[in-house]
Amino acid sequence: MMLLFRIILKIRSLYQDMIKSVIIKVATNQGMKVGENLYVQGVPNFGSEPFLIEMGDNVTIAEGVSFINHGGDGRVTKRIEKYKDGRTFGRIKIGNNTFIGKGAVLLPGVSIGSNCIVGSMSVVSSSVPDNTIYGGAPAKFICTIEQYGEKLIANSTIYPLELEADRAKLEEYLIKNLPHTYKPVKK
pLDDT tens profile 15-51: 888 888 888 899 899 999 999 999 999 888 999 999 9
Give pLDDT, residue 157: 80
Measured on CA atoms in the order 62, 63, 64, 66, is the torsion positive or negative? positive
Give pLDDT, residue 130: 99
Q: Which of 25-29, 53-57, 104-108, 134-138 has the lowest mean pLDDT?
A: 25-29
CB atoms within 10 A of CB 128: 23
> How confident is the prediction for the chain on average, in pLDDT?
91
Ordered by start, the domain boundaries in the chain are 2-158
110 class by beta-carbon count within 10 Å (0-12 exposed, 13-18 middle, 19+ buried)? buried
pLDDT band at 122 (very low <50, low <70, confident <90, very high): very high
User: Which residues are bridge partners to 92 per DSSP?
Assistant: 53
Give pLDDT, residue 31: 95
**Of 125, 114, 102, 101, whose CA–CA distance to 54 is shortest?**
114
What's the CATH architecture for 2-158? 3 Solenoid (2.160)
Give pLDDT, residue 6: 84
Show the CA angle centred on residue 40, arms to residues 163 and 122, nearest 5°. Answer: 105
Show the CA angle centred on residue 62, arms to residues 57 and 63, nearest 5°. Answer: 140
Give pLDDT, residue 15: 83
42 Ramachandran zone, left/alpha/beta (phi>0; psi -120 to 50): left
Answer yes or no: is pLDDT of 1 > 80: no
pLDDT band at 2 (very low <50, low <70, confident <90, very high): confident
User: Which residues are bridge partners to 124 per DSSP?
Assistant: 106
Q: Which pTM was predicted? A: 0.83
Round to whole Å and give the CA distance between 74 and 105.
19
